[in-house]
Structure 1
Amino acid sequence: MNITKIIQLLSDTGILGIVIFLFVAWFNRINPAVKTKIASNKSANQREVLGLLDNLASNAVHLLSASYEMPGDEKREKAVADVTSQLNGLGHNVDPAIISAAIEKAYQLMTTQNTVAQAKQAQFDEGQAAAEQAFADKEVQLTEQKAKADAVVATLNVPATTQAPTEGDAK
């Protein structure tokens, strides 16, 4: 009964109407504005993280481009691991697929430029290919020499006893 008296008093003074008006205004105007502001701050934070991701990916790709002896797949895995570690260290949790895409974007951007690292990588790759070819040629040559040596070393047909006198026999 006490609650009914309070509601009656609020209704008589007009305060109940004001409370109902504010309640409706909150859900129609103020709440959506607050949600929009929160979403806007979230997207601004996401843009900031993606910008940071682009910079970290670019740095990782340029750093690993000088690792000539490392295969491309290992470079990619190391770049993704490095960037993920750096982002986690800064308190950002980013999907590994997005990080991998950023690494690929940085790589594609770098390969469109003519860098010293690319020239050195090309020289390294050519040298490695030449060394592998020389090794393969040497293996073929050694195999051929072994085959010739095996053909020359045939069993000799020597009789167990000889009829002719040998040196040092008495005549």
Structure 2
Amino acid sequence: MRKFLNEKVINGGAIPGFHQLQEKYLGAVYEKEKEELKTLLAGKPVAVIFDETPDVEGRCVLNILLAPLKKDHSGRILAYLADTVFLEQCNHSTVYVAVVKCLQEYSIQNEDVIVFDTDNAAYMKKAFKSALQALYPKSLHITCMAHIMNLIGNAFRKPAS
């Protein structure tokens, strides 16, 4: 960080205000990181992981992660946040459009998408069945293990009737 500040920031590495960082540097850093991620993902089989949550304004926030299905130099498979999309409506069509757009932005080839990993929501399953499955014919849909465990845990916590 210090090297970057000394080389790129006016005032000899003094930490600039957030406005200067946001307006002058953040865009360039973002684009550089995005290009590096594109290079990392190019031609590799990919898992696409996406999940939604509401924000404080009631909008649907969709996070899309991409994970190359080949181990990195440390022997691990890592997922990278590729996009965060704020959707006015959260349904199967808005979700699959956002996912397809993200995959196109990262130049992911259709045959390279192997897995779509989502929660167990009906509209997530419908997004896969109605569009993603046809566009990405080598892919399959799986439900996130954490969501399955949460459903099981909730079943045990329900009062007996």
Which interval holds the TM-score relative to the shorter structure? Answer: under 0.3
**Which structure's residues are more often helix, by fraction?**
1
User: Bigger radius of gyration, 1 or 2?
Assistant: 1
TM, length-normalised to structure 1: 0.25
TM, length-normalised to structure 2: 0.26
